[in-house]
Amino acid sequence: MAKKVALLQGNEACALGALYAGCKFFGGYPITPSTEVAEVMSVELPKVGGKFIQMEDEIAAMASVIGASLTGAKVLTATSGPGVSLKQELIGYACIAEVPCVIINVMRGGPSTGMPTGPGQSDVQQAKWGTHGDHAAIALVPASCQEIFSETVRAFNLAEKYRMPVQVLFDEIVGHSRERIEFPEPGDLEVIDRQGPTVPPEEYKPFDTSFGDVPPLAAFGTGYRFHVTGLNKAQDGFPTTKASLVDDEQRRQIRKVDAAQADIEKNEEYLTEDAEIVIFAYGSTSRSARYAVNELRKEGIKAGLFRPITLWPFPEKRVAALAKQAKAIIVPEMNLGQMVLEVERVAKGACEIGFLGRVDGEPINPGQIIDKVKEVK
Amino acid sequence: MAFDYDKYLRPGKLPHIWCPGCGHGIAMKGLIRAIDICGLDKNNTAIVSGIGCASRLPGYVDFNTLHTAHGRAAAFATGVKMAKPEMNVICVGGDGDGTAIGGNHFIHACRRNIDMTYVIFNNSIYGMTGGQFSPCTPTGAKASTTVYGNPDPTFDISKLAIGAGATFVARTTAFHATQIDKLIAEGIKHKGMAVIEVLDDCPTTYGRRNKFRSVVDMMKRLKDIAVPVAAASKMTAEQLEGKVLTGVLYKEEKPEYCEQYAQVIAKAQGA
Ligand SMILES: Cc1ncc(C[n+]2csc(CCOP(=O)(O)OP(=O)(O)O)c2C)c(N)n1
Ligand code: SF4
């Protein structure tokens, strides 16, 4: 049987991906350019017995999804830059309390209200550092409608598997472009549910590391009574200020992601085997970059594309290897220099790094990338 | 026979962090008795708080407990209730937590008339951070950030709740300990948003600064200012000056949020 296909906006594909992953709760607050995610969820969730709630602001939206997640539901919220800024305190809460949730950020220009309908890629460092305290981060950056669908599913899987918030960032161009999408049948994509407790309620501890760095999470209302707090806590979930316990907890929560880098990391490479110039690009910019690579190759310039799909944790090993192989890495992005910092950090001076930034609300076009490559060549 | 609080307290979690003479302990005992009166199943009850001295309560009681971020209890609780409407959801927290930083969530939970019980421990001050003024600090009172006397007007939490749409609103004080459980129990049984304001005391950061010589003085004030609603109807405006009404202040039957959403689900599924 032929696959079901449709012409969809990235934002719509995101909502459908969430439903495919088994999302049963959406708490949100409208903000352009992310609103279609909420709109589709408001229509589709009740059809599957799920719940949609439009909260009074983004802080409340984030709070509601954390609360809902603790009842065992897979949860989603979607917003844009200013909304993520508001959610930051509670993103930290979800990190420390280890509550699975997926946060969509359809990136627009900024800071502040910036350009509501203009694309941007300037929240990429916010996705890593955007809360207080030390914490791990997982962020995915799909570049097409089809990939928004599948990466949203993967974001739920990672959130459930590693018991933490996962952000999916796409720029407004990808979020609002209409593209053909082929719907996976149930079973085509892996769908992971969080690990529940295997011990009886009397023995359950919500942060019991004898089960590994990702302790099983019970659900409220299932006979497992436990305490959840944003304070540093011992394995039983109750607050502690004991230095060794706090230290253990902080390090474990970062280690659980570091140790799983291979499972979380996902990149795409195009003509990088022999590339002398590697273009590091993500989101809609990577599509201009791919076009640029083809054009450059026609002119005999050995260009290649490295496209991170997992942005955080950063693909350090592979980028370091490419830096050793290539003469230069060019980083075009719709900001004034964010991921280029990360590329520079891991390249450790092994090759030249070129940067091309654009923040005028226009996409980076292939011609600009070609010119930049020729500049460093 | 004496009431058995142990049944509802978590073993090994006492002593609590509250200062001697703090009203929060009295309010907690009232809440526990209310839960007992209503016969709530511990496994099916979630207690949610924000941040502050009052908000430490969930750590001590044996339910599904959620100690959230400052001000956000109602928003977390809304997520819990929406996702699992069969759960009994109770919010607890201080006046600062509920009406300053959390004011927006508080009024919107009231507006939705979502079926939860919100108990506000109103000690007129930010206790945990050392006695800065809150929206409920009386005008003119001393706080660590109003050493010249508080210039801010004061919230009446119960009126705020009624105005915002809560369908059960009651008030009592830590002095009237035996009324606390009855009012909270009535709130729990009420279908919809129930707000119970418990006026209590913070001897450590409020009493000291405002010339209450002892906890007994503070309790005496609570006793003196409280006027039951029935009695108030026979009093003149002059007699009511400086008093607060206690008892059930408002009660109304109105569609509840989760039930309204159940109709959305039914419609979406083609009913
Ligand atoms: C976002 C944020 N802002 C400020 C604080 C600091 N803070 C902790 S408790 C508190 C006030 C608590 O007062 P109240 O809610 O009245 O409760 P009480 O301590 O009096 O019981 C404040 C301001 C915080 N924890 N988080
Ligand atoms: S500081 Fe005040 S509110 Fe906090 S525990 Fe002490 S008396 Fe109670």
Residue B129 Cβ inside 6 Å of ligand 1? The answer reads yes
Binned average pLDDT, 10 residues per bin, chain B of 271 residues: 93 95 97 98 98 98 98 98 98 98 98 98 98 98 97 97 98 98 98 98 96 96 97 96 97 98 97 78
Integer angstrom CA distances of residue A301 from A304, A328, A352: 9, 12, 16
Contacts of A10 (CB under 8 A, 6+ apart): A142, A144, A145, A148, A170, A174, A175, A176, A177, A179
Distance B205 CA to ligand 2 centre (A): 7
* Beta strand pairing call for B132-133 and B125-126: antiparallel
List the single best residue of A66, A99, A227 to mutate versus B (max B Cβ within 10 A): A227
Assigned token pair, A201: 């309620």
- Tens digits of per-residue pLDDT, A68-83? 999 999 999 999 999 9
| Contacts of B43-47 spanning 24+ positions with Cβ under 8 A | B43/A221, B43/A222, B43/A223, B43/A225, B44/A221, B44/B86, B44/B87, B44/B88, B45/B87, B45/B88, B45/B89, B45/B90, B46/A220, B46/A221, B46/B77, B46/B80, B46/B87, B46/B88, B46/B89, B46/B90, B47/B90, B47/B91, B47/B92
**Looking at residue B172, what is its pLDDT?**
98
Query: B65: Cβ below 6 Å to ligand 2?
Result: no
| Amino acid identity at A350 | A
d(CA B250, CA B227): 15
Per-residue pLDDT at A342: 98
Q: Contact B199/B171 with Cβ under 8 angstroms?
A: yes
The per-residue pLDDT for B271 is: 78
Give how far B251 is from chain A: nearest CA, Å.
Answer: 25
Q: Which residues in chain B touch residue A72, judged by CB atoms under 8 angstroms apart?
A: 83
Residue B268: which of A47, A53, A73 has the nearest Cβ? A47
Q: What is the pLDDT of residues A238-281, one digit of tens each?
A: 999 999 999 999 999 999 999 999 999 999 999 999 999 999 99
d(CA B54, CA B47): 12
By alpha-carbon position, which residue is closest to atom 8 of ligand 1?
A: B52
Please list, in sequence order, all residues whose beta carbon lies within 8 angstroms of the beta carbon of residue A167, skipping any fewer than 6 positions away: A84, A102, A103, A104, A105, A127, A137, A138, A139, A140, A155
pLDDT at A1: 62
Q: Which two tokens stand for residue B211?
A: 């010339």
Distance CA A366, CA A374 (A): 12
Question: B56: CA distance to ligand 1 center in Å?
Answer: 11
> A-chain residues within 8 Å CB-CB of B264?
46
Distance from chain centroid for Cα B270 = 40
Q: What is the pLDDT of residue A2?
A: 76
Supply the pTM of this predicted model.
0.98
Which of the residues in chain A have pLDDT under 50?
none
